[in-house]
């Protein structure tokens, strides 16, 4: 799909386009925002820490704006969506947390599923009436290890496993993307929903790892992990190339590196019946359903 030499310098002219990047103040999100703004887009960094977002935005060339969004608080998600006016060409659901200790969001969700999936589920559906082009959601190769218990998304009746909760949230990202695409097609919408795996990149996602896992990440990171700039390439391809809705874009090389290409998600991610069950559970938990209003 792309040559190994493809970089952000190959982005098309994005003048007149508006993009929201959640988690745009660090890591892959910041590099994604930087590249899109540099190509002419108006980029809104949707972040929890406004001061940090402003500092990062000040280092970017082009049109940027910082707005507050806390995906661990549905009131914040609703406020962000309610404050949006006009068209939104591209929504990039980038923000995420990984391997965090057991904890709860403001609304009582397990933090990883709450941030990575439920917060973005609500945000996307609330913003759909404004979106004109596409929705890009960051998943991970870790989705292949997901074993979602749709009746216990928030780990109320199981012993908590941070690694499994993360993998489950990334599987949820893919199931959501493919079910969203199905629903958009049924509705006759031209919006495309696309998922990506950024590859293994050196970001603060690994900041909560401890013990042997942290030591292993430290060693592997020096040799195998990409920098955030290269980690952003799959997102940039998914956001700007003419790809079919429902695509899953991932690095095509060894060790989750290399040029972005369309990949095949796991069979679990392609389970349409289960995706609909997860959608219904997500509606019950968030109170939000397509096309952007509260569920009835």
Q: What is the mean pLDDT of the chain?
A: 90
Give the pLDDT mean for 32-36: 98
Q: Is there a contact between 87 and 14 (Cβ–Cβ < 8 Å)?
A: no
Distance of CA 113 to the CA centre of its chain: 12
Give the pLDDT mean for 146-175: 97
List Cβ neighbours of 48 (8 Å cut-off, separation of 6 or more).
68, 69, 70, 71, 72
> How confident is the model at residue 7, as a pLDDT?
85
CA distance 15 to 5: 24
Q: What is the pLDDT of residues 211-265, one digit of tens each?
A: 665 555 555 555 566 677 889 999 999 999 999 999 999 998 655 667 899 999 9
Q: Which of 118, 158, 163 is nearest to 140 (CA)?
A: 163
Q: Is there a contact between 66 and 49 (Cβ–Cβ < 8 Å)?
A: no
> How confident is the model at residue 296, as a pLDDT?
33
| Beta pairing, strands 293-294 & 288-289 | antiparallel
**Options 166, 176, 248, 279, the catalytic residue:** 166
Buried b (16+ CB within 10 A) or exposed e, 10-29: ebeebeebbbbbbbbbbbbb
Cross-strand pairs, 9: none
Q: For residue 248, indicate whether it is catalytic.
A: no
Confidence of residue 83 (pLDDT cuts 50, 70, 90): very high
Model-wide pTM > 0.95: no
> How confident is the model at residue 229, as a pLDDT?
86
Please give the domain boundaries of the chain with CATH numbers for all domains. 12-199+232-283 (3.40.50.720)
Give the pLDDT mean for 10-35: 97
> How confident is the model at residue 219, as a pLDDT?
57
Let me know the angle formed at the C-alpha of 113 by 108 and 116, rounded to the nearest 5 degrees: 120
């Amino acid at each position: 799909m792309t040559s190994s030499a493809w970089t952000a310098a190959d982005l098309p002219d994005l003048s007149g386009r508006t993009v929201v990047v959640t988690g745009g103040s660090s890591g892959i999100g910041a590099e994604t925002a930087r590249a899109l703004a540099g190509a002419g887009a108006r980029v809104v960094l949707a972040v929890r820490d406004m001061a940090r977002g402003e500092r990062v935005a000040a280092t970017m060339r082009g049109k940027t704006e910082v707005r507050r969004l806390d995906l661990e608080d549905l009131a914040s998600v609703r406020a962000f969506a309610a404050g949006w006016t006009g068209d939104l060409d591209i929504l990039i659901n980038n923000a995420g947390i990984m391997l965090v200790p057991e904890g709860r969001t403001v609304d009582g969700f397990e933090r990883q599923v709450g941030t990575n999936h439920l917060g973005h589920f609500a945000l996307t559906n609330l913003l759909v009436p404004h979106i004109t082009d596409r929705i890009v959601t960051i998943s991970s190769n870790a989705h292949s290890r997901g074993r979602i218990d749709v009746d216990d998304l928030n780990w109320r009746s199981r012993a908590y496993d941070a690694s499994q909760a993360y993998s489950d949230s990334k599987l949820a990202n893919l199931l959501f993307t493919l079910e969203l695409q199905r629903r958009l097609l049924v509705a006759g919408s031209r919006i495309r929903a696309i998922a990506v795996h950024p590859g293994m990149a050196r970001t603060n996602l690994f900041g909560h790892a401890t013990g042997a896992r942290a030591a292993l990440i430290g060693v592997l990171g020096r040799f195998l992990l990409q920098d955030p700039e290269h980690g952003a390439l799959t997102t940039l391809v998914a956001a700007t190339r003419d790809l079919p809705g429902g695509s899953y874009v991932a690095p095509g090389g060894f060790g989750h590196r290399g040029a972005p290409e369309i990949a095949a998600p796991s069979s679990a991610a392609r389970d349409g019946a289960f995706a609909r069950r997860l959608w219904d559970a997500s509606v019950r938990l968030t109170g939000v359903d397509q096309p952007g209003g509260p569920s009835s």
